[in-house]
Structure formats: C-alpha cells, structure tokens
C-alpha cells in the first residue's frame, strides 16, 4: 500500500512517495523514507519496508564498466548486486521457477527511470513517467493528463499525482517526500 511516482524531465529524474504503511486493516503514517538517494541513484520503493531499508542503508552500488550501456549495467550489475544483498539479508523469496523480492522499485539513473519488478527484471517506461504501489493507477492517470504541460515543474506534477492517489486509494497518505536527481 503506497504510491511512488517518477518523472523524467529536462535531463533529470524527479521522484516522490507517500508515508503510508499498512498491516491487516490498519493504515499508519510512518517517518520511513520511501524515496531516497544512494550514490548516483534516486530510489523509491513500494512493498516491503525491509527491502527498502536494505536499499537505503546496505546496498553498495557497483560501478558501471567503461563501454557498458546503462541498460546493460542495470540488468546485469545493478540487479545482480541487489539479488545478492537480498539473499544475504534474508529477504529473497524462493518461487517455483526462480527468486523474487517483495517490492517494486523505481530507480532514477542518468536522467532515466528504471523499474525493477518483483522478479528482478528491469523495465523502462515508454512514457516519461512511472508509478508503483497500490495508488499507481490514480497517479498514472494524473500524470497522463499533466504530461504535456512543460511549464509545470516536475515537483508540482508529482505533488498533484500523489494527491490524486491519496484521494482515491485508501493505502496512500501524506506527507509526501519529493526529490530530484540531475543527469
């Protein structure tokens, strides 16, 4: 239960997230940041707070090799390091055909948004925005409407998308944390 929103604009990635956490039928607001910086990366997550905490405090991002494309780096080195961390810290789940983690992660890197799904595959949205979490459909609708407004700052677009999500999803709540990462 959450909403993370990312926007690519003017060579930068902006990301915002809410402060809701849920258990059983209870929604609480937490001070845990779901959006944060880790070296050259802007990271936001939905799902397991443990996975997010490991990404924020224990994930040592490998360096990109010379000549390696950004996508190749994310698919091979970044995700492999993430899988090893999740395995070492006990958050990796075994499934019938492979491994998974209980989170969806948005990553801003070199002006682009990357989506890491629960099975560790990397996606790049065809739109200049992405969202994850239970409130994502509402935020994506708002971002679709706001996408053509190049005068509106990304921070304001994210605020509006998160507000729409909080209005219609019981699992999304303010305050919102919004950050930007230049290219």
pLDDT tens-place string over residues 49-88: 888 889 999 999 999 999 999 999 999 999 999 988 888 8
End-to-end CA distance of the chain: give it in Å, rounded.
30
Residue 126 DSSP class: S
Say what the pLDDT of residue 140 is.
97
Q: Which residues of 140-169 are buried (b: 16+ CB within 10 A; e: fewer)?
A: bebbeebeeeeeeebbebbbbbbbbbbeeb
**Domain boundaries in the chain?**
4-47+102-181
Of 67-81, 88-102, 137-151, the range with the lowest mean pLDDT is: 88-102
pLDDT band at 44; cut points 50, 70, 90: very high
Cα–Cα nearest to 45, from 64, 18, 70: 18
pTM above 0.85, yes or no: yes
Tell me if the domain spanning 4-47+102-181 has CATH number 3.40.50.2300. Answer: no
Q: Which residue has the higher pLDDT, 15 or 88?
A: 15
pLDDT at 48: 80
Between CA 174 and CA 50, with CA 119 as vertex, the angle to 5 degrees is 45
Q: Measured between alpha carbons, how far is residue 69 from residues 9, 78, 119 in Å? A: 21, 12, 22
- 132, with CB counted inside 10 A (0-12, 13-18, 19+), is buried
Confidence of residue 29 (pLDDT cuts 50, 70, 90): confident
The pLDDT score that the predictor gives to residue 87 is 82
- For the chain, what is the radius of gyration of the CA atoms? 16
């Amino acid at each position: 239960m959450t909403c993370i929103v990312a926007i690519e604009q003017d060579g930068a990635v902006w990301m915002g997230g809410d402060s809701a956490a849920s258990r059983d039928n209870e929604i609480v607001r937490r001070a845990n940041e779901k959006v944060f910086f880790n070296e050259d990366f802007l990271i936001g997550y939905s799902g397991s707070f443990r996975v997010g905490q490991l990404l924020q405090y224990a994930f040592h991002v490998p360096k990109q090799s010379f000549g390696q494309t950004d996508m190749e780096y994310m698919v091979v080195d970044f995700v492999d390091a993430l899988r090893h961390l999740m395995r070492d810290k006990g958050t990796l789940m075994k499934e019938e055909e492979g491994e998974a983690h209980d989170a969806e992660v948005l990553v801003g890197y070199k002006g682009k948004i990357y989506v890491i799904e629960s099975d560790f595959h990397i996606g790049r949205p065809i739109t200049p925005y992405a969202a994850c979490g239970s409130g994502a459909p509402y935020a994506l609708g708002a971002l679709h409407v706001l996408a053509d407004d190049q005068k509106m700052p990304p921070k304001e677009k994210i605020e509006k998308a998160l507000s729409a999500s909080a209005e219609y999803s019981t699992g999304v709540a303010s305050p919102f944390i919004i950050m930007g990462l230049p290219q």
